[in-house]
Amino acid sequence: MSEHKIQMREKENPAREKKEFNTLTVTVSICGEPKTDDTCKSASLKFPMPLVRKIEGPFTEEGKLIEEMIAGEEYIFKAGEFQESTLSPIKHIWRAEKLDDGEITDLEYKKGENPYLDEEGTVCFKYTAKKAEKIRIYAYVASPDEKVSVCTHIFKLPIFLDKYKKAGYNIAGTQLADDLHYGDGIHLNTGHSKYTIK
C-alpha cells in the first residue's frame, strides 16, 4: 500500500471570522465505487486559531512606550504572543476599542496596512487617539477579552492658577483674562513631547 500525502496551505485571503477553531472536513471515497454512505467516509479536523495572549502599547513612532496618549496623535500597539497555530496571526487578528465606559467597537481592517508586521515580525497596528477620558484597546481572534487589552488615558493640559499674579492676556494675546492668570512660560514634559503655557 503506497503512502499518500496531503499538503495543506492557508488561503492568501481567508475569510475573516471570529472563532477559536478552523474546521476542515475531508471526505474519502473508494475508487470506482458509487458515492454512498458505505463507500464515502468523512472526517473533520480542528485547527486552533492563533489566539492573542498579550498586547502592549501605546508606543510612539520612535518605539517609546508611554502612559498617556494625546487626542489626534497616532500610536502603535503590538500583539506579541499567540497560541500555537498553523494559521498566520496577521490574517485573523481583530482590533477593537472602548472609549470610557462605552461599547466595544471593532476598528477598521486594511489588508497589508493595518495591522502590519514590523521588522521583528511582531503584529502591530496604528491607532489615532480619540477624545475620551480613557481608551481600552483590544487585539483578538475570537472575542475581545479585558485580560488581553491595554487601558490608557488621554493627556490633558493642566490649568495653573496664581491668585497673586496680575491678570494677563490669553495665549493668542487678543483677550484680557478676567478669571485666569497666565504664567510666564511653564514647560510641561508629557513623556513624548513638550508644551509651553504662556
In a domain, 131, yes or no: yes
Q: What is the pTM of this model?
A: 0.68
Return the pLDDT at 182.
Answer: 47
Q: Look at 185 and 44; give whichever has higher pLDDT.
A: 44
What is the percent of the chain with per-residue pLDDT over 90, rounded to a whole number?
41
Return the pLDDT at 5.
Answer: 65
Q: How much is the average pLDDT of 103-117?
A: 91
In a domain, 1, yes or no: no
Return the pLDDT at 167.
Answer: 53
Q: What is the CATH number of the domain that holds 138?
A: 2.60.40
Domains in the chain: how many in total? 2
Return the pLDDT at 195.
Answer: 47
User: What does residue 192 show for φ and ψ, rounded to 5 degrees?
Assistant: -140, -5
Domain containing 164 equals 158-198
In a domain, 47, yes or no: no
> The C-alpha cell of 134 is what?
480613557
Check residue 37 and report its DSSP letter: T
CB 186 within 8 A of CB 196: yes
Is pLDDT of 25 > 70? no
Same domain, 121 and 144: yes
Return the pLDDT at 131.
Answer: 93
CB 123 within 8 A of CB 90: yes
In a domain, 45, yes or no: no
Model confidence pLDDT, tens digit, residues 136-193: 999 999 999 999 999 999 988 665 555 444 455 555 556 665 555 444 444 444 555 4
Model confidence pLDDT, tens digit, residues 81-96: 888 887 888 888 899 9
Same domain, 96 and 172: no
Return the pLDDT at 187.
Answer: 43
Same domain, 121 and 136: yes
Return the pLDDT at 39.
Answer: 63
CB 116 within 8 A of CB 106: no
Q: Look at 165 and 75; give whichever has higher pLDDT.
A: 75
Same domain, 56 and 150: yes
CB 49 within 8 A of CB 92: yes
What residues does 43 pair with on adjacent strands? 26
Is pLDDT of 35 > 90? no
Return the pLDDT at 82.
Answer: 87
Task: Give CA–CA dist 62/83, Å, rounded.
Answer: 28
Same domain, 124 and 72: yes
How much of the chain is in helix, strand and coil states, percent to nearest 5?
A: 5, 40, 55
> The C-alpha cell of 150 is what?
491595554
